[in-house]
Amino acid sequence: MVTETILQQLVLFVPELILTGTFCLILLTGAFTKLRDYGTSTLTLIGSIAAFISVLPTIGVQKSLFAGMIAIDSFAVFFKLFSLVCLIGITLFSLHAGELKLVRTRSAEYYALLVAMTLGMFLMASATHLLMMVLAMELTSLSAYVLAGYTKEAADSSEASLKYILYGAVASGLLLYGISILYGLTGSLHYTTINHVLAVEPLSRVPLALVFVLLLVGFGFKISAVPFHSWTPDVYEGAPITITTFLSVASKAAGFAMLIRFFKLVCVNPVASVEAGYSIPLLPIDWQLLLAVLAVLTMTVGNLVALWQENLKRLLAYSSIAHAGYMLIGVVSFTDKGIASVLVYLVVYLFMNMGAFLVVMVVANKTGSEDIRTYRGLGSRSPFLAIAMTVFLISLTGIPPTAGFIGKLYLFAAALDAQWYWLAFLGVLNSVLALYYYVRIIRNMFLRESESAVPNISLTSGEVLLLGALLVPTLVFGIFFSPIVEIAQKSIVMLGVP
């Protein structure tokens, strides 16, 4: 009986199965054939496109699978498609990455781990059971640890990997401790059951507050929120740039998916929320305020520290911390609008952040440096690259007519709508702060001349296409943003939320 149900349910689990199959296939190919880089990357692309297509039929489905372990719903589908787009993008990036060329012999491991990480993100986005959530998170994290140290010949890559593991291990440990206390209090690991127990039984504040803080450490680590961010700059700087990009976009998005689903299903009073028409917090602690403080800390610290960075990878690492802070604004308000605004922001962020990293990668390929000084005079040496970078940076700042503005607009609108005025105010002030360091890059590209005779950076057609594919949405969504907003609004449907 049970087996039969599971087999039936597997139909909806096909995307994950395809990814698992791709993972195995790549490993086997790497071990037993002479197909190296292009072979394995092609397999990755085929696998991810197949997974993408297999996700499409599950749009609109609302179902709980495997005895409530995971949920198939629009929210999960959104993040699945999101991670797949990232995976495809990163695979294409990897083909152009100079630092990976040195280690071509091990490329099977690289692509296999990327696929495994994506599988982890799938499960992170759909987990409705704490155990499943932890497993998914560990799958993503473990793959990421290895990938961060993938170019083990480079000392800072190994250092990045080690730091990542140490921080990650502590964060998972604390998260598990929190989960065990929560289990002790409520007797269940299912989100909905926990929610039910919390709603019915009065539990004392202190252990719940402890649980909450411990869980926040785990989530905060994943989305690199201040004060759990200290691993981010070193890992982002040390890891191969493709992995940095993947971590800063896909992994962060999956962290947000996990965070939002947990709070939405566990910490919101379902009955009262339906009556009121908006989400009513359930816990006896003000977790919204706590998240708001976290958001302010994250964006302010991220922006302030970014001001001083000379290495672009590190600068973008801090900027990505700040962006997590902005997105937390949407989570704090916790209305449907708030969550939709986070999804809008993620889509926008995907294009602009990947674009900025791509430019850094291309420049690093040619010059071997990520230092801001190598960007001097880029405007005259390679106008297209410099203009593309300018658009991405302006979008990251949030100035119209770029997509970044729409993202910020939705976040601040959601905050105002949910009456978080001071949060919106601090948010906009932060985007002014951020302008300074983004413009520093623009200043180096256009306002300063290169110090010595540096060769022009010529782009391959593949790089031009990739840049174009990221540039066009960054501009077009700034003017016609209906599609992303529509998708985001439809994607907030979560299983178990009335």
Partner 1 sequence: MTIQILGLGILSWITFIPLLGMVAVLCMPKHAHVAMKWTAAVVTLVQVILAAVIYFNFNPTLSGINTLDGMQFVERLTWIDLQSNTSFGRIHIEYFLGIDGLSMPMVLLTALISFIAVFASWNIDKALKGYIAMLLLLDTGMMGVFVALDFFLFYVFWEVMLLPMYFLIGIWGGPRREYAAIKFFLYTLAGSVLMLLAMLALYFSVVVVDPATGEKIHTFNMLAMMNPANYEPNSLLAGIGTTMRAIAYLALFIGFAIKVPIFPFHTWLPDAHVEAPTAISVILAGVLLKMGTYGLLRISYPMFPEMAQQYVVPLAILAAINIIYGALCAMAQRDFKKLIAYSSISHMGIVLLGMCALNSQGMVGAVLQMFNHGTITAMLFLIVGVLYDRAHIRDLDAFGGLALTMPKYTGVTTVAFFAALGLPGLSGFISEAFSFLGAFQNESIRLITIISTVGIILTAAYMLWTLQRVFLGHPHEKWRSLPDVSPRELFTLVPLAVIVIVLGIYPSLMINFMASSLNHLVDIVVRGSIHTTVLQF
For the segment 249-308, give every residue that binds partner 1 (CB under 8 A). 277
DSSP state of 64: E
The residue assigned the tokens 């391959």 is 460
Interacting span for partner 1 (CB under 8 A) from 46-54, 108-116, 225-233, 425-433: 425-433
Residue 135 or 485 with smaller CB distance to partner 1: 485
d(CA 172, CA 331): 22
Least gap, CB of 432 to partner 1 (angstroms): 5
d(CA 219, CA 226): 11
Among 224, 431, 474, 491, binds partner 1 (CB under 8 A): 431
Task: Count Cβ atoms below 10 Å from residue 292 Cβ, excluding itself.
Answer: 21
Give the DSSP H or E segment for 248: none
Answer yes or no whether residue 382 interacts with partner 1 by CB under 8 A: no
How many chain residues touch partner 1 (CB under 8 A)?
Answer: 39
Answer yes or no whether residue 460 interacts with partner 1 by CB under 8 A: no
Answer yes or no whether residue 106 interacts with partner 1 by CB under 8 A: no
Answer yes or no whether residue 374 interacts with partner 1 by CB under 8 A: no
d(CA 215, CA 337): 24
Answer yes or no whether residue 213 interacts with partner 1 by CB under 8 A: no
Least gap, CB of 416 to partner 1 (angstroms): 5
Q: Positive or negative, the Cα torsion across 457, 460, 461, 467? A: negative
Amino acid in the structure at residue 179: I
Among candidate residues 226, 212, 231, 118, the one with its CA nearest the CA of residue 164: 231
Give the DSSP H or E segment for 72: strand 70-72
CB 100 within 8 A of CB 240: yes
Answer yes or no whether residue 53 interacts with partner 1 by CB under 8 A: no
d(CA 352, CA 249): 10
Interacting span for partner 1 (CB under 8 A) from 47-55, 299-307, 310-318, 395-403: 395-403
CA dihedral 359, 363, 366, 367 (to 10 degrees): -170
Interacting span for partner 1 (CB under 8 A) from 12-20, 149-157, 257-265, 476-484: 476-484
Answer yes or no whether residue 447 interacts with partner 1 by CB under 8 A: yes
Least gap, CB of 466 to partner 1 (angstroms): 22
Residue 308 or 436 with smaller CB distance to partner 1: 436
Among 432, 458, 460, 462, binds partner 1 (CB under 8 A): 432
Interacting span for partner 1 (CB under 8 A) from 183-191, 224-232, 352-360, 401-409: 401-409
SS3 455: coil
Q: Measure Cα distances from 180 to 74, 116, 134, 188 in Å.
A: 29, 27, 12, 10
Interacting span for partner 1 (CB under 8 A) from 135-143, 172-180, 308-316, 475-483: 475-483
Among 128, 157, 335, 353, binds partner 1 (CB under 8 A): 335
Among 424, 441, 495, 497, binds partner 1 (CB under 8 A): 424
d(CA 125, CA 474): 25
Answer yes or no whether residue 342 interacts with partner 1 by CB under 8 A: no
Among 401, 451, 465, 468, binds partner 1 (CB under 8 A): 401
Answer yes or no whether residue 336 interacts with partner 1 by CB under 8 A: yes
